[in-house]
Structure formats: C-alpha cells, structure tokens
Amino acid sequence: MTTDVILGLLWRSFWQTVWMTGASGFLSLVIGLPLGLALVVTSRGGIAEQGSISRVLGVLVDGFRAVPFVILLIALIPLTRWIVGTALGTTAAIVPLTIAAIPYYARVAEVSLRDVDRGLIDAVRAMGGNRWTIVREVLIPEAMPGIVAGFTVTMVTLIGASAMAGTIGGGGLGDLAIRYGYQRYETNVMIAVVIILIILVWGMQWLGDRLATRLDRR
C-alpha cells in the first residue's frame, strides 16, 4: 500500500476509536457515577441506608464485571442489534463498551466516595444538611480528584477494549491492525497502530493526572 493510503486508513480508524471511546466513556460517567454513589449511600452506615437495594446493586455490578469483555461482545450482539440496528461497525461497538465500562467505573467511583472524611459528613448533618446537601456539598467535591483519576483509568481501559472490539468488526484502530497488520502482513500498519494507541493512552493519562491534581484540595 502507498503511504497516502496508509495515512488515510490510520486517520479514519483513529477518529473511529476516538468516537467509540468518547461516547462510551461519557455514558459510563453519566450512568456509572450515580450508580457508584447509590452503592455508597445505600450501604451499611450510608446516609440513605438500604441493605437490600445495596446488595442487589452490588450483585448486578459485580456480575457484569465478572464477564470477560470478549464474551460480553458476543453475548450482547442481540441487544446491540436491537438498539443500533446492526451488530457491526463503530457505533454498534459503543453498546458493549458502555455496558462493560459502567460497572467498572461505578466500583472505581465508589472507592473514591467511601474515602471521604466521615467527620465532614457528620458536620453537615449537625448543621441541618439533608442527604442531597451532603452529596452535593461534601461527597462529590471531596471525592472529585479520585473520581477524575478513576475516570481516566476507565478511559484508558476503554481505549484497549475498543481495539479488542475490532476483532468482531467494530472498526477503529483494532480493526485496522487485524485486517491489515495481521491478516495482510502489513507490519508497518501494525507498528503505526501500536504507536498511536500508546500516544492515546499516554495523552489521556497525562490529562487526567493534571486535572486530578488541580482538583485536589489537600
């Protein structure tokens, strides 16, 4: 293949990967953070303790986390086809990526939220603050550096998972590496894909670390 063709393929696959990871990452944040918050507030000693709800949520989250992503890709094909209309392509890959990322990020966010100083929560309660005030003024702000750091780790994981999605026609850099780098023995394509993935991961980690440091109040 000519250099122009390779560059064109890399450019298209790069933006497909950005779209997959960006969309699934956004959805994992929007759904996973409230889920992690629910796990914390409904747990024993939480501000809205509900043991049965906490146990059910925990079982669901851990159940999805226990399934390897490759198996999840295959198992969710009927759901993906029902939501998107097809099980192939970049947009279709967002469905399994999101479902895999939500429980993962929920647990990561839960750890950060549990680390919030209990004394701050008790102080807000003593001043008459309700549950929503505690969540808005204490839990989220105090846990924000950990929440951002956890989201960064989730995004890095999604970049790797999006490459794996290429094995079943999900598009992106993984698909390019399989079809050209492996099946057609285009070693230069494989090397270029690996370099781009490394740069993506490094850039995402650097941005996340910088933001988490800025938000750290300690």
pLDDT tens-digit readout, 7-62: 788 888 889 889 999 999 999 999 999 999 999 888 887 777 777 888 898 899 98
Tell which CATH classification among 3.40.640.10, 3.30.1110.20, 1.10.3720.10, 3.40.50.720 matches the domain 3-215: 1.10.3720.10
Q: Is it the case that residue 206 has pLDDT exceeding 90?
A: yes
Domain boundaries, the chain: 3-215
SS (H, E, C) the chain: CCHHHHHHHHHHHHHHHHHHHHHHHHHHHHHHHHHHHHHHHCCCCCCCCCHHHHHHHHHHHHHHHHCCHHHHHHHCHHHHHHHHCCCCCHHHHHHHHHHHHHHHHHHHHHHHHHCCCHHHHHHHHHCCCCHHHHHHHHHHHHHHHHHHHHHHHHHHHHHHHHHHHHHHCCCHHHHHHHHHHHCCCCHHHHHHHHHHHHHHHHHHHHHHHHHHHHHCCC
What is this structure's pTM? 0.87
Q: 182 pLDDT band (50/70/90 cuts)? A: low
Q: What pLDDT was estimated at residue 139? A: 86
